[in-house]
Amino acid sequence: MKKSIHIILFLLFLTISNAHSQKKVIKTDAEWKQQLTEKQYFVLRQKGTEYAFSGEYDKHYKTGTYYCAGCNTPLFTSTTKFDSGTGWPSFDNHINNNVAFLIDKKYGMVRTEIICNVCEGHLGHMFKDGPKETTGKRYCVNSASLLFNKK
């Protein structure tokens, strides 16, 4: 029992260390408003959501990498993108520790919110109804929170 507690504490320490090893981007609200478009600000800083099927990356399947629109951190690759039919870009995995997870209890339900681990911008939510042949996860992301760079 004691050994398993030590292992759990060590793994927790590694997780926290990795999360804090990235340089955080911290800006004032005025700086974010100056940098981002209205839609990006609404999604990334106010935890807003785009209307389904309205985002530019929903049906986007070029080869490359999707970056955080707030701080340019690489978040997802095109190889992990799939058509979930939900109206939002969907991925079954993320890059390194660049995505963090929070419990979201708004609207009378419990969901897993996903944020950029560097600037803490809201990206969307993670659900466990993704492709079973890969991770089984679906990272449901707002297009406004992303920038795309072609390979």
As annotated, the active-site residues are 140
List of E strands, the chain: 64-68, 74-77, 81-82, 90-91, 99-104, 111-116, 122-127, 138-141, 146-150
Burial 134-143 (b: 16+ CB within 10 A, else e): eeebbbbbbb
Report CA 47 to chain centroid distance, whole Å. 12
